[in-house]
Structure 1
């Protein structure tokens, strides 16, 4: 790859000394900065310029790696939601007790402050911005719901996967975003015990989904 100065011996305009292009470390630094910016500011108030400033690079380098803001937001979601993408592995262990395993897996992710903070920021952005919502919807569908549906051996697997997802996202909104009591302060084990039978029915009961 050509050097940043284009062979002139000068750095690109606005690019601080020591900044490197064409390295995995630079891309990772930009992505980490984007995740922090989206977490702190939300989608609407975050800009390519603010991400570049936080990463210590020129804005053109952010565009080089990620394109538009929508694309770097998508990359941030992929990074922030990585723990949740293990759900298909939970299902692969078999139908017995899958409702409890899934509830415990999901709640444990949200109970962890490290994984909770960026996921909270993304949910808030998706609620207030149509572009952010569309990006989140596409990634959750591609990385999570379609894989969950492929593991189910019941009628209407896609609908059941979406219902299970809606159940867990609803709990996340009520417990961690809006913080409505008594759910917000309920014991984790109590939440798991109450939610598990519903998830079990969605994912394994061959009967009608409703009723």
Structure 2
């Protein structure tokens, strides 16, 4: 008989944590999932979850097979000069998804989100908390002006919608004009529009 109790460390333990996290995220969404609950579902000590994954966002990245950790990408955006936020955001987005593997994962992620509400909720909550909120904080810290009657959160979300729409046309629908364009061409076209959303011109 195999011994009962918590699993020791090892590759099997890591796989068990990922499987448990997939179940927890699907049932409770990103916001409702805790690392302690994942550890309980996997039958491991909570310290082992922290040993393998640096926080909930990194665990979610593993579960969803994202090509990169969004927290790292936001750091790259935050390091850009305020005058180049739009172009930097576009280039970082395309750098993540433009590889053959990234294109496949982008298409798979949005196909799953369209077919399953629990999947869509996970992505929605994760993008809202770990990406959009961080970008909003970055824009505010850059000293970008906020005009009365305008919501920075809405502006950032509209910029994200433009990027996601570009991704859908490039990687899923594969509209030739967008799918065949070079990254530099897309950055040149998207950058000014995203810049207007993130850092609107002062009167």
TM-score by length of 2: 0.67
Aligned CA distance change for structure 1 residues 6 and 88 (closer, same or farther; 3 Å): closer
CA distance in 2, matches of 1:30, 1:117: 25
User: Greater RCO between the two (CA within 8 Å, min separation 6)?
Assistant: 2
Asked if structure 2 preserves the Cα contact closer than 8 Å seen for 1:103 and 1:195, the reply is: yes
- 1:129-208 to 2 correspondences below 5 Å: 129-152=116-139, 153-155=144-146, 156-206=151-201
Number of matched residues? 165
Unaligned stretches of 5+ residues in structure 1: 8-19, 35-42, 44-60, 67-71
Write out the 4+ residue segments of structure 1 that deviate beyond 6 Å after TM superposition.
Answer: 31-34
Equivalent residues in 2 for 1:72-87, closer than 5 Å: 76-77=63-64, 79-80=65-66, 82-87=68-73
> How far 1:172 sits from its partner (Å)?
0.7
CA contact (8 A) 1:80 1:118 kept: yes
Does 2:4 match 1:6?
yes
Q: Tell me the residue number matched to 1:95.
A: 82
| Superposition deviation, residue 114 in structure 1 | 3.3
Unmatched tracts of structure 2, length 5 or more: 21-25, 27-38, 45-58
Instruction: Verify the 8 A CA contact 2:86 2:194 in the aligned structure 1.
Output: yes
Shift of 1:105: 1.1
Residue 175 of structure 2: SS of its match in structure 1?
A: coil
Residue of structure 2 in register with 1:105 after alignment: 92
Indicate conservation of the 8 Å contact 1:92/1:151, yes or no: no
Superposition RMSD in Å:
3.5
TM-score under structure 1 normalisation? Answer: 0.64
Q: Distance in 2 between matches of 1:21 and 1:198?
A: 51
Q: Does 1:64 align with 2:62?
A: no
Return 129-138 or 91-100, whichever deviates more: 91-100
CA distance in 2, matches of 1:206, 1:99: 13
Check 1:135–1:204 CA distance in 2 against 1; reply closer, same or farther (3 A cut): same
Cα drift, residue 28 of structure 1? 3.2
* SS of equivalent to 2:82: coil
